[in-house]
Amino acid sequence: MKSALGAFACLVLLTANTALAEGDAAAGESKAAICAACHGLDGNSVVAMWPKLAGQHEQYLARHITLIKDGARSVPEMIGIVATLSDQDILDLAAYYASKTISPGAADENLVAAGESLYRAGNPEEGIPACTSCHGPAGEGNPLAGYPWVAGQHATYTENMLKKYRDGQTWGADDANSTVMVGVARRLTDEDITAVSSYLQGLYRAD
């Protein structure tokens, strides 16, 4: 009985802590002013080398801001910005950007066939799995598994990230998600990366 009560108490405490660890989108909006120069007022960056944050999963955003702050993910341009953020600031910013809608993009028509083939079927001969297995058919990712929303992202940003993964960059030896991406990207050619990045930029779910 004591064991059962102890387990219940732990569950209650865990639930309470989880409930407290929530972001406030309204508070995040006022804190996002410093981010707007690179990521846009609503999280839709107009500069292709900087990612669109609008519509990204809240948990993913909070995790990656924290990784950058802790130095596990190297983004030199953000070090001075994230250094002073509190845990609540990070949660609020993540909630704000997650509440926004990603802006439309377009794929290069000449690359759509190759990009779609890689995204939906992979390349079994080269050991490349389909991107849909983690990021879904519409590119919306899987927030519970930590896989990001990739549809509509700038092709330039996606291409740069895939090349970093191909070079072996991870967010720490114990980070499963980036380790998976390294394993996938190391089999991609430059042409593969360009094609799938372009395809993702124009990928949208049909309503």
Please check whether residue 8 lies inside any domain of the structure. no
**Alpha-carbon separation of residue 40 from 34, 45, 100, 126, 166 (angstroms):** 10, 5, 11, 38, 28
Q: What is the pLDDT of residues 160-193, one digit of tens each?
A: 999 999 999 999 888 999 999 999 999 999 999 9
Judgement on whether residues 167 and 124 belong to the same structural domain of the protein: yes
Please check whether residue 27 lies inside any domain of the structure. yes
Going by pLDDT thresholds of 50, 70 and 90, the confidence category of residue 205 is low
**Residue 60 near residue 143, CB atoms below 8 Å:** yes
Going by pLDDT thresholds of 50, 70 and 90, the confidence category of residue 4 is very low
Please check whether residue 13 lies inside any domain of the structure. no
Please check whether residue 46 lies inside any domain of the structure. yes
Judgement on whether residues 128 and 78 belong to the same structural domain of the protein: no
Judgement on whether residues 91 and 136 belong to the same structural domain of the protein: no
Distance between CA atoms of residues 187 and 161, nearest Å: 14
Cα angle, residue 102 at apex, residues 78 and 122 outer, rounded to 5°: 90
Q: Write down the mean pLDDT value for the chain.
A: 90
pLDDT at 180: 95
Judgement on whether residues 197 and 147 belong to the same structural domain of the protein: yes
Closest CA to 51 of 14, 102, 114, 121: 102
Distance between CA atoms of residues 12 and 201, nearest Å: 43
Residue 104 predicted with pLDDT over 50: yes
Judgement on whether residues 180 and 141 belong to the same structural domain of the protein: yes
Residue 47 predicted with pLDDT over 60: yes
Structure tokens at 160: 């740069």
Residue 138 predicted with pLDDT over 60: yes
| CATH code, domain carrying 74 | 1.10.760.10
CA dihedral 153, 154, 160, 166 (to 10 degrees): 40
Within 8 A by CB and 6+ apart from 148, the residues are 56, 57, 60, 135, 141
Q: Tally the domains of the chain.
A: 2
Distance between CA atoms of residues 72 and 123, nearest Å: 31
Going by pLDDT thresholds of 50, 70 and 90, the confidence category of residue 18 is very low
DSSP 102: P
Judgement on whether residues 77 and 117 belong to the same structural domain of the protein: no
Structure tokens at 163: 């090349």
- Residue 193's SS3 state is helix
Q: Which domain holds residue 53?
A: 22-98
Judgement on whether residues 124 and 194 belong to the same structural domain of the protein: yes
Going by pLDDT thresholds of 50, 70 and 90, the confidence category of residue 71 is very high
Choose the final residue of a domain: 52, 75, 98: 98
Judgement on whether residues 65 and 131 belong to the same structural domain of the protein: no
Please check whether residue 104 lies inside any domain of the structure. no
Judgement on whether residues 90 and 146 belong to the same structural domain of the protein: no
**Residue 155 near residue 200, CB atoms below 8 Å:** yes
Please check whether residue 10 lies inside any domain of the structure. no
Sign of the Cα torsion 68, 70, 76, 78 reads positive
Choose the final residue of a domain: 98, 120, 151: 98
Residue type, 197: S
Please check whether residue 193 lies inside any domain of the structure. yes
Choose the final residue of a domain: 73, 98, 123: 98
Judgement on whether residues 89 and 116 belong to the same structural domain of the protein: no
Please check whether residue 122 lies inside any domain of the structure. yes
**Residue 55 near residue 101, CB atoms below 8 Å:** yes
Judgement on whether residues 134 and 195 belong to the same structural domain of the protein: yes
